[in-house]
Amino acid sequence: MKKSQITKAKKVAKNKTIPAIDGQVIIEKGWATATNLEVTLRYRTEVEGEGIIPIEAISDGFDHAEIKGDTVFVKKGTVTIQYPAYNKAEFPTYDENDKELKSVQFNKVSQFKDLAKFAADDETRPVITGIYFDNNHMVATDAHKMRWYPHSNKLGNFIIPKIVADLMLEDKYRLSLVENEHGHVTRAIFRGEYEEIICRLIDGKYPRWIAVLPNENDLKLKLKVPTSALINALKAGLKVGNSITKAIIFDLAGSQLNVLAFDIDLKKEFTTSIALDREYGKMQFAYNTKFLLSVIDPKEVNTLLELQAAHKACFVNGGTLLMPIMIDKDITAVRTDIAFSTNDYEPTSGENYPGLYQRPIADAEPEKAPIQPEENNGAISDEQPEHVDATSEKQPEPEPVEASHDDVDDDVHEETPEAIAPEIVEYSEKAIAVIGDTKQYRREFKQIWGSWNPHVQVKGIKGAWIFSKKRMQQVAEILGQ
């Protein structure tokens, strides 16, 4: 058992409201388990017996440790120390009805850990405090800087808490999702050779991150800057510049990049120039010094900065997006509230990636996560058709999704024919649909997790409430059938 594993267990086992898990681990079948109910860490141990023991009992290592009844005996050298042990039945466990879905190999641990640095710390926006997975990427952002890596997981869309990255000690894992008895995907499991990390997925709608990527053709300036000179300038500017804005200003003048940082209140100023490889024209732009330093790779000889305009986001070495700081004409004032957004973008035919605007990325149109995966020829996919015709054999039948109360707004707009009496029909193998005039039942349907779908077409009627078949009796009672 590694010292690092015990250290990680201490970090996880914190819950003042449940004494059985606060500072405790459960020893069972050769595994030690620590949890705070949000994240669970399991690792192999040499402690014999079964029960709940204090982590401090084994934190300094041991030659032999054994649980006997309500006591754990820890021997190290010639000294044996006794600690209290408790019945393992007091330790919280997961629901036996939960079902583990298909697993995939997860080898990109180093990239995953790198992304954790880009996730936000702002608990008021929980969805961006985690790392987002879709079918082809891993993404993290704090609304001011964003990084992504290609990754094919075939498990659907979900958000992993960034603390998981800090708990990983191995180079590869098997990643799987866990579905509860209601068909909701609620947890993820990273299973390694000597440890397992189980986490509750962050529930929410992740911003449409790919929508803020500028089109390659819109990148008007591709500036190649010597990395060592850039890092030296940024570090010097950070010491001299304003401690609040942390602004570093770049004045591009042909084949020379002038760098400026200042603090008007303290009358401090720093300037330097970096020679470039060719003529680039003229442009002024600014960034948060700490943010820019955090996204530069010091191992690279040159750093590539690709810009659309001074007031829009910058690609840094192709895989990171950084928002600018706005400066006025005489460079005596700055704006630091610039963040990713897609709110103001009106897509037109043929445009895949909109520009960048000055509102938080959290306001962008979201993608749902976690999503309920559906079986597709043995693989799990999150692809859902926007328009589903129940009479067509070519359309796949989606799994039922039980919406939360927030998913169905009070002003949800139903356009079902008023002359048609409500009718319960089979929608798929695991779902039912209610068609007809259902406006008067809207609030009752919301309370039993119904999901209104205005696009679905059943028996020639567009729009229906979708429920899990488990809700059949409740729906019938509401309709008086």
pLDDT tens per residue, range 306-324: 998 888 889 999 889 999 9
Phi, psi of 291 (to 5 degrees): -65, -45
Return d(Cα 245, Cα 335) in angstroms, integer. Answer: 8
Q: For residue range 245-274, what is the model confidence (pLDDT) as tens digits?
A: 899 999 999 999 999 998 888 888 999 999
Q: Are residues 110 and 75 in the same domain?
A: no
User: What integer pLDDT is reported at residue 463 of this predicted model?
Assistant: 86
Q: Are residues 123 and 202 in the same domain?
A: yes
The encoded tokens of residue 454 equal 């205005």
Helix (H, G, I), strand (E, B), or coil: what is residue 448? coil
Residue 86 counted as domain residue: yes
- Provide the β-strand partners of residue 225: 303
Phi, psi of 225 (to 5 degrees): -120, 135
Instruction: State which residues form the domain around 136.
Output: 104-178+198-207
Residue 393 counted as domain residue: no
Residue 345 counted as domain residue: no
Residue 372 counted as domain residue: no
DSSP one-letter string for 266-314: TTEEEEEEEE-SS---EEEEEEEHHHHHHH--TTSSEEEEEES-TTS-E
Q: Are residues 163 and 233 in the same domain?
A: no
Q: Are residues 80 and 111 in the same domain?
A: no
More confident residue, 184 or 83: 83
CB half-sphere exposure, 331, CA atoms < 13 A: 16
Q: Are residues 133 and 203 in the same domain?
A: yes
CATH number of the domain at 168, please.
3.10.150.10
Give the N- to C-terminal CA distance of the chain in Å, as an integer: 61
Residue 46 counted as domain residue: yes
Q: Are residues 170 and 227 in the same domain?
A: no
Return d(Cα 128, Cα 250) in angstroms, integer. Answer: 29
Q: Are residues 122 and 203 in the same domain?
A: yes
| Lowest-pLDDT choice from 139-143, 153-157, 198-202, 446-450 | 446-450
Last residue of a domain, one of 258, 277, 307: 307
Tell me the one-letter amino acid at 243. Answer: S
Q: Are residues 115 and 69 in the same domain?
A: no
Q: Are residues 111 and 155 in the same domain?
A: yes
Return d(Cα 475, Cα 403) in angstroms, integer. Answer: 15
Return d(Cα 5, Cα 424) in angstroms, integer. Answer: 54
The mean pLDDT value for 463-478 works out to 88
Mean pLDDT score of the chain, rounded to an integer? 81
185, 27 in Cβ contact below 8 A? no
Strands, E, within 323-450: which ranges?
Answer: 326-327, 334-335, 366-369, 374-376, 379-381, 423-428, 431-435
Last residue of a domain, one of 260, 281, 307: 307
Q: Which has the closest alpha carbon to 167: 62, 40, 262, 282?
A: 40
User: What integer pLDDT is reported at residue 344 of this predicted model?
Assistant: 34
Q: Are residues 202 and 114 in the same domain?
A: yes
Q: Which has the closest alpha carbon to 319: 202, 209, 166, 168?
A: 209
Binning pLDDT at 50, 70 and 90, where does residue 44 land? very high
Q: Are residues 123 and 41 in the same domain?
A: no
Return d(Cα 235, Cα 121) in angstroms, integer. Answer: 24
More confident residue, 38 or 326: 38
Phi, psi of 202 (to 5 degrees): -75, 120
Q: Are residues 83 and 115 in the same domain?
A: no
Phi, psi of 324 (to 5 degrees): -85, 175
pLDDT at 385 over 70: no
Residue 429 counted as domain residue: yes
DSSP 396: -
Strands, E, within 319-473: which ranges?
Answer: 320-322, 326-327, 334-335, 366-369, 374-376, 379-381, 423-428, 431-435, 451-458, 461-468
Residue 282 counted as domain residue: yes
pTM listed for this prediction: 0.66
Name the burial class of residue 294, with classes exposed (0-12), middle (13-18) and buried (19+) by CB atoms within 10 angstroms of its CB: middle
Buried b (16+ CB within 10 A) or exposed e, 79-93: eeeeeebbebeebee
Last residue of a domain, one of 56, 90, 124: 90
In the chain, the number of structural domains is 4
Residue 49 counted as domain residue: yes
Instruction: Write out the H or E segment, with its range, that includes residue 26.
Output: strand 24-28
